[in-house]
């Protein structure tokens, strides 16, 4: 695949040999340990000090030491509060179905850190991960002292850019990590920039109004680069239009400036599903099935189709038949993922009030059940009151727990206390996901639904737990 490791997709040298060597990482385990030992904004409580870590100068310095590999690849850049991961997955799958070699960079990972860096649905190999990490470590050792230590996310982002340049991908779909304006992915100049739904999240870092948060997300707009978004809350679109005018980029809203429609239907053969249409002078995507459940995913799908349309104006071929095939192939772990058959276990990384509301609405529209038992754990800095209110409306029983690996996780006892005081409902508490499953499974029967949600960290631990249970059952069956 692609060109030699020393050249980029556009024929330029992708590597500058640093004068100093970084620490010898010693293969994949050593590379992971080195990365996890760095400052990780994803797992820190949001404070002013964390906000101060978000600077682009160090990322630009690191890219220069690597030979600016991000300039060798064409990109799609996607920001937003919720839905950006799903939009990336749909866009990438469609591009792959159209015959392109597609890099995909998303976060966080659920089980394996390598999930963040993929090409054509395949995660980066252990060997390539270790090799690329060593290259990044060597480059980072040459950063000027005034730059400070690079963060976990900056280093992994640099790894993705270098890997995609080495492999000469046709296009890389890049998900913003946090915000947009100062996110380490924002060193790129993409072919198209897109922003999904905006709501309150990370308020201590990005601002405490949707307008302030929108301004941070709009920081990915670049001069002359087409920008896309979906209908937003009042005030947000005004911020986007002002930002687009200021930097000099064309902004279009799916469903307002671009012809888009959605219908929800149910048939005996396919069950409940949404279909979308998006029409422009160049493309006519008609009645395409949305691969992910939930009305909110229909808009994300429309945004993905609009991204494809803009790419088709810039030389990409996106025929409807292949796009349809690409949507059908979409897999989005941790997003309304039915992960266990009996009792049915659904995993979803809904991590703010709007996401929990959308999840419960999507479950009601798509999945039949007698009773919903929810295992819930979230970060302490979230709008806990809002999330608990949505849970009270949708769940029949709740088990509060926490993600063991997340230092930001709220105390489950505190969650249960607030839930009981605010909504007059009893809840149970579990110290970890294994105990939560033990408690929850005693409360469900065959027709019930067990939902694990509140954070991607918790969903990741649930996936690991279920994989362990499956492995034990397989081993026990083999022994007999």
Closest residue by Cα to residue 133 from 113, 112, 159, 166: 159
Apex CA 193: angle with CA 189 and CA 196, to 5°? 145
91-100, 261-270, 384-393, 402-411: the lowest-pLDDT one: 261-270
* pLDDT score of 8: 40
Lookup result for tokens 């409940």: 272
* pLDDT score of 295: 80
pTM of the model: 0.88
Which tokens go with 56?
Answer: 């682009």
Burial of residue 225 (number of CB atoms within 10 Å: 0-12, 13-18, 19+): buried
* pLDDT score of 272: 78
Tell me the per-residue pLDDT of 214-268, one tens digit each, with 9 for 90 and over.
999 999 999 999 999 999 988 999 999 999 999 999 999 999 999 999 998 877 6
Tell me the per-residue pLDDT of 3-53, one tens digit each, with 9 for 90 and over.
333 334 444 444 455 578 999 999 999 999 999 999 877 665 555 555 556
Q: Which CATH number fits domain 337-479: 3.30.420.40, 3.90.190.20, 3.40.30.10, 3.10.180.10?
A: 3.90.190.20
Tell me the per-residue pLDDT of 442-459, one tens digit each, with 9 for 90 and over.
989 889 999 999 999 999
Which tokens go with 366?
Answer: 């798509």
* pLDDT score of 3: 39
Which neighbouring-strand residues pair with 194? 78, 228
Closest residue by Cα to residue 373 from 334, 340, 403, 406: 340
Mean pLDDT of the chain: 90
* pLDDT score of 18: 56
Rounded CA-CA distance 313/315 in Å is 6
* pLDDT score of 422: 92
Pairing, β 192-195 against β 227-229:
parallel
Which tokens go with 90?
Answer: 């749909």
* pLDDT score of 474: 84
Apex CA 340: angle with CA 338 and CA 341, to 5°? 95
Rounded CA-CA distance 447/337 in Å is 17
More confident residue, 52 or 83: 83
Rounded CA-CA distance 54/204 in Å is 13
Overall size of the chain counted in residues: 480
* pLDDT score of 179: 84
Q: Are 136 and 159 in contact (CB under 8 A)?
A: yes
More confident residue, 100 or 404: 100
Rounded CA-CA distance 408/382 in Å is 10
* pLDDT score of 150: 93
Which neighbouring-strand residues pair with 274? 264
Rounded CA-CA distance 26/153 in Å is 21
Lookup result for tokens 């993905």: 304
Mean pLDDT confidence for 469-477: 85
- The SS3 assignment for 126 reads helix
Q: Are 91 and 102 in contact (CB under 8 A)?
A: no
* pLDDT score of 9: 42
Helix (H) or strand (E) holding 273: strand 271-279
CATH of domain 27-328: 3.40.1190.10
pLDDT at 339 over 50: yes
Rounded CA-CA distance 125/112 in Å is 11
Pairing, β 397-400 against β 372-376:
parallel
Q: What is the DSSP string of 40-108?
A: -GGGSPP-HHHHHH--SHHHHHHHHHTT-GGGGS-EEEEE-SBSHHHHHHHHHHHHHHTT--EEEE-S-
Ranges for all domains in the chain classified under CATH 3.90.190.20? 337-479
């Amino acid at each position: 695949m692609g060109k030699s490791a020393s050249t980029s997709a556009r024929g330029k040298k992708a590597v500058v040999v640093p004068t100093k060597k970084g620490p010898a990482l010693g293969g994949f385990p050593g590379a992971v340990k080195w990365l996890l030992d760095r400052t990780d904004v994803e797992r820190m409580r949001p404070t002013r000090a964390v906000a101060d870590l978000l600077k682009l100068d160090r990322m630009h310095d690191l890219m220069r030491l690597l030979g600016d590999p991000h300039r060798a690849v064409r990109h799609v850049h996607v920001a937003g509060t919720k839905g950006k991961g799903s939009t990336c997955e749909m866009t990438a799958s469609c591009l792959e179905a159209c015959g392109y070699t597609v890099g995909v960079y998303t976060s966080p990972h659920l089980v394996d850190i390598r999930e963040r860096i993929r090409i054509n649905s395949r995660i980066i190999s252990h060997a390539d991960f270790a090799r690329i990490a060593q290259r990044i470590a060597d480059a980072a050792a040459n950063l000027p002292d005034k730059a400070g230590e690079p963060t976990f996310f900056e280093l992994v982002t640099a790894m993705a850019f270098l890997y995609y340049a080495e492999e000469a991908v046709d296009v890389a779909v890049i998900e913003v990590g946090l915000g947009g304006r100062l996110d380490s992915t924002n060193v790129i100049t993409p072919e198209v920039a897109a922003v999904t739904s905006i709501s309150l999240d990370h308020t201590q870092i990005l601002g405490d109004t949707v307008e302030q948060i929108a301004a941070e997300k709009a920081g990915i707009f670049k001069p002359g680069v087409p920008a896309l978004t979906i209908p937003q809350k009042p005030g947000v679109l005004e911020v986007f239009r002002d930002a687009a005018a200021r930097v000099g980029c064309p902004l279009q809203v799916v469903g307002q400036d671009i012809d888009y429609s959605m219908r929800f239907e149910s048939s005996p053969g396919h069950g409940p599903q949404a279909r979308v249409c998006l029409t422009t002078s160049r493309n006519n995507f008609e009645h395409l099935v949305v691969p992910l459940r939930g009305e909110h995913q229909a808009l994300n799908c429309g945004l993905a189709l609009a991204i494809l349309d803009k790419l088709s104006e810039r030389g990409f071929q996106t025929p409807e038949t292949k796009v349809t095939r690409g949507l059908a192939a979409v897999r989005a772990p941790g997003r309304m993922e039915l992960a266990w058959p009996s009792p049915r276990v659904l995993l979803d990384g809904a991590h703010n009030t709007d996401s929990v509301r959308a999840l419960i609405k999507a479950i009601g529209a798509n999945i039949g059940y007698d009773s919903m038992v929810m295992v819930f754990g979230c970060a302490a800095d979230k709008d806990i009151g809002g999330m608990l209110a949505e849970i009270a409306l949708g769940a029949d029983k709740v088990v509060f727990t926490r993600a063991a690996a997340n230092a930001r996780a709220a105390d489950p006892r505190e969650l249960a206390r607030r839930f009981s005081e605010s909504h007059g409902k009893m809840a149970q508490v579990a110290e970890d996901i294994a105990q939560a499953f033990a408690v929850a499974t005693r409360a469900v029967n065959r027709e019930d639904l067990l939902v694990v949600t509140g954070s991607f960290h918790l969903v990741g631990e649930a996936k690991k737990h279920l994989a362990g249970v499956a492995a034990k059952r397989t081993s026990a069956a083999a022994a007999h």
